[in-house]
Structure 1
Amino acid sequence: MAAPDSSCEVAHGNAAPKTAERTLVAVFASPVARFLLTYARDLGYRPMLFEPDPMRELPTGVKVFFSAPDVDANADIVVTDHHRPELGSVLRDVLAGPSRWIGVLGNPRHPGPHVDALTALGVPAADIARVHRPVGLNIGSRTPAEIAIATLAGLIADRNARPGGFTF
């Protein structure tokens, strides 16, 4: 008889999943950020919100930062609104840290505005290249909840060195 598959043991509740301390930072208070932060907690992330504008409506139940949070190399950072005027300065600040992954939501058929914003601030091209866009798996998501699920699925696939989709 074959040894039990550890993934099956976790799925059936017979073993605890192996998790490292993981952080998910959603940048900008938005509908997508609200779902990202909620689902991230269920996936074992320590959720945080980086919202530079204290006058914005902020979610409850999550740690909020008004400047770039001090994170380690286990942090994934997702910018949830690429139309905000602070996009360049916020990305410059998070790029200065050691985060594992940084991405900006947006339609892949349009140029990412973060490139021009970061270039104008003098951010080196190698740092700009650390910013992923698009983010998430291509599941045809349209709603904030679907976008959050696609984004988190992409982060999990990337963290586990998997292609995502149905390729095993």
Structure 2
Amino acid sequence: MTAEPDACAVAHGEAEDKPAERTLVAVFASPVSRYLLAYAADAGYRTVLFEPDAARATGDFDVRTTPPELDRGTDVVVTDHHRPELGEVLRTALAGDARWIGVLGNPRHPGPHVEALTALGVPAPDIARVHRPVGLNIGSRTPPEIAIATLAGLLADRNDRPGGFEF
């Protein structure tokens, strides 16, 4: 078994890091999903945009109009909680084997995913698996800032870290 390379050596280009097998699925084409997928690709994720509306399914990414297969290396981020397909998309994601599922949205407002999933008969313990809010609380407001906060939160979670300035 080989040791993990020292983070400092990797950061300085003195050692190569073995990339983790991980996938980020951004659900719904949106300004946030565009930045999120670009930043995630830079961070070593395999990126997928799942957009069930074929008219909106465009971009320079791996774009799917049918749900992609979700495995334990997959994180799913729903980037638009106003879409009518929200409940159905989340129910499908919950039925898969994704490592992490979250929905963007203001934490000061009730998450519409709860009502949508309840109406579809999804059990409360499954609904509780959906993270909201997502990302680190950095006061993000613009699509690039929201994408950075979201990706930073996913990285913290993957690395069993609290995020923020706690070490």
Same fold (TM over 0.5): yes
| Letter paired with 1:83 | H
- 2:103 aligns to what? 104
Q: Structure 2: how far apart are the matches of 1:87 and 1:125?
A: 16
- Whole-Å separation in 1 of the counterparts to 2:66 and 2:89: 8
Name the amino acid aligned to 2:38: T
* Residues paired across the two proteins, number: 163
Q: Which runs of 5+ in 1 are unaligned?
A: none
Q: Secondary structure at the match of 1:48?
A: strand
Name the residue aligned to 2:126.
127
5+ long unaligned stretches in structure 2: none
Let me know the Cα RMSD of the aligned residues: 1.0
CA distance in structure 1 between the partners assigned to 2:8 and 2:96 by the alignment: 36
Equivalent pairs: percent with the same residue?
A: 73
Match of 2:65 in 1: 66
Instruction: Note if contact 2:152-2:163 (Cα within 8 Å) is conserved in structure 1.
Output: yes
1:124 deviation in Å?
0.9
Moved over 6 A (4+): none
Cα distance in 1 between the residues matched to 2:119 and 2:70 = 25
Deviations 1:40-78 (A, max 9, x none): 100000000010000115212x11111210121110000
TM-score, structure 2 length as denominator? 0.95
Q: Which residue of 2 aligns with 1:115?
A: 114
Query: Aligned partners of 2:22, 2:13: CA distance in 1, in Å?
Result: 21
TM-score by length of 1: 0.94
Look up the equivalent residue of 2:28 and give its one-letter code.
F
